């Protein structure tokens, strides 16, 4: 657990100096009680999920040290939007959604990039030092980073998490399973029977999209052959490589569903290299609905992930937490929809 008290005297020193309320950190309360920082946060906010014995122990320490939650007025009037990589093609959609809600609430927006490596010039320490009203993370915050934010009374929301989160961590995602099922059902209804899927890494959203695909295949009575599911990275080049393997098979698929639009663009490239037409020889469905895919030839049928609406909902949730409001639903999933364009058609007879 990260205690982040390097600029504060130890708790016993504070007591001997007669430190008033707030001179002891939430991290020290957690350490003294033998619990996690989120558990202390639950007690402070009157939330459930803490046993009576633990709650009494934590409350005793809170009263003993006179700890008080940091006043919201001590935080800056900004929402900090944190990315691991700003090169993503859908970063603009996310920023647009955040800006819309922040403007309505008269709050500023700051965009930060932590980077994927320790050598990154920005880190959670910089964010904590800026004391934003709340943090919206388009990145998987580590347990240590989450503890640091909680210890300083800075609420946060994870956007479209790529890993499993503890039950008390707020997040906003999309209905990935329903999107995968809708994409596959569309291909089945067109008459396709050999439908392959190119999936991504072992992230929750990728697993959910595969599960939706398999559900629709089983629903249609199609064989659950694991071979047509290829797992690779979520890039155009990896989508191309996976598609070249699938389309070179003797029983090549007549349709391919991909875990994201970049992989689908790779399928387009592979099809061209093999002399196959889309959708004449091969139907393709993507996932995300990036703005660019409406302009490719043919325009891509894809599952629309409402990134701007997701970002707006995540910002509303983060600001509510920043105001200290009681949250009835920690995790939100915004509905996906299928956008049908020119890349899908019935298979050749």
Q: Domain 176-305 maps to which CATH number in 3.30.450.20, 3.40.50.2300, 2.40.37.10, 3.30.565.10?
A: 3.40.50.2300
Residue 198: the pLDDT is 97
For residue range 290-315, list pLDDT tens digits in order: 888 999 999 999 999 999 999 999 99
Instruction: Report whether 47 contacts 167 (CB < 8 A).
Output: no
Residue 32: the pLDDT is 86
Instruction: Say if domain 72-173+308-334 classifies as CATH 3.40.50.2300.
Output: yes
pLDDT band of 118, cuts 50, 70, 90: very low
Residue 226: the pLDDT is 61
Instruction: Report whether 198 contacts 263 (CB < 8 A).
Output: yes
Task: For the chain, report the end-to-end CA distance as a whole number of angstroms.
Answer: 62
For residue range 249-262, list pLDDT tens digits in order: 998 999 999 999 99
Is the model's pLDDT at 82 over the cut of 80? yes
Q: Please spell the DSSP secondary structure of 34-82, one letter per residue.
A: TS-HHHHHHHHTT-SSS-HHHHHHHHHHHHHHT--PPPGGGSEEEEEEE
For residue range 222-269, list pLDDT tens digits in order: 976 766 899 999 999 999 999 999 999 998 999 999 999 999 999 999
For residue range 142-189, list pLDDT tens digits in order: 888 888 888 888 889 999 887 888 888 899 999 999 999 999 999 999
Q: Which region holds residue 57: left if phi is over 0, alpha if psi is between -120 and 50, else beta?
A: alpha
Instruction: Report whether 257 contacts 222 (CB < 8 A).
Output: no
Q: What is the mean pLDDT of residues 42-69?
A: 79
pLDDT band of 289, cuts 50, 70, 90: very high
Give CATH 3.40.50.2300 domain extents, the chain. Answer: 72-173+308-334, 176-305
Instruction: Report whether 90 contacts 307 (CB < 8 A).
Output: yes
Superfamily of chain region 11-65: lambda repressor-like DNA-binding domains (1.10.260.40)
Residue 1: the pLDDT is 37
Query: How many angstroms separate the CA atoms of 267 and 286, rounded?
Result: 10
Give CATH 1.10.260.40 domain extents, the chain. Answer: 11-65
Q: How far apart, in Å, are the Cα atoms of 313 and each of 181, 333, 335?
A: 24, 10, 12
pLDDT band of 2, cuts 50, 70, 90: very low
- Whether the model clears a pTM of 0.85, i.e. scores above it, the answer is no
Instruction: Report whether 259 contacts 200 (CB < 8 A).
Output: yes
Residue 8: the pLDDT is 34
């Amino acid at each position: 657990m990260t205690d982040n008290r390097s600029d504060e005297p130890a708790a016993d020193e504070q007591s001997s100096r007669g430190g008033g309320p707030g001179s002891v950190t939430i991290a020290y309360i957690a350490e003294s009680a033998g619990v996690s920082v989120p558990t202390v946060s639950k007690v402070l906010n009157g939330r459930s999920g803490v046993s009576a014995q633990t709650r009494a122990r934590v409350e005793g320490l809170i009263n003993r040290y006179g700890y008080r939650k940091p006043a919201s007025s001590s935080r800056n009037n900004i929402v900090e939007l944190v990315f691991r990589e700003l090169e993503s093609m859908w970063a603009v959609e996310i920023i647009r959604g955040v800006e819309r809600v922040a403007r309505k609430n008269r709050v500023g927006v700051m965009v930060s990039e932590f980077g994927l490596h320790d050598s990154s010039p920005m880190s959670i320490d910089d964010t904590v030092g800026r004391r934003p009203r709340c943090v919206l993370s388009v990145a998987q915050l580590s347990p240590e980073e989450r503890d640091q934010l909680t210890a300083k009374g800075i609420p946060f929301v994870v956007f479209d998490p790529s890993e499993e989160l503890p039950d008390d961590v707020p997040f906003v995602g999309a209905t990935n399973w329903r999107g995968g099922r809708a994409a596959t059902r569309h291909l089945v209804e067109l008459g396709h029977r050999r439908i392959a899927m190119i999936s991504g890494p072992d992230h929750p959203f990728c697993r959910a999209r595969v599960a939706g695909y398999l559900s629709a295949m089983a629903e249609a009575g199609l064989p659950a052959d694991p071979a047509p599911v290829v797992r690779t990275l979520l890039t155009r080049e990896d989508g191309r490589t996976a598609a070249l393997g699938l389309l070179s098979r003797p029983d090549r698929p007549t349709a391919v569903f991909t875990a994201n639009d970049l992989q689908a663009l790779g399928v387009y490239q592979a099809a061209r290299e093999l002399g196959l037409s889309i959708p004449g020889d091969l139907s393709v469905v993507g996932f995300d609905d990036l703005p660019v895919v409406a302009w490719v030839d043919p325009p891509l049928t894809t599952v629309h992930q409402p990134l701007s609406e997701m970002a707006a909902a995540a910002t509303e949730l983060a600001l509510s937490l920043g105001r200290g409001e009681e949250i009835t639903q920690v995790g939100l999933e915004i509905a996906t929809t299928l956008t049908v364009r020119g890349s899908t058609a019935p298979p050749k007879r």
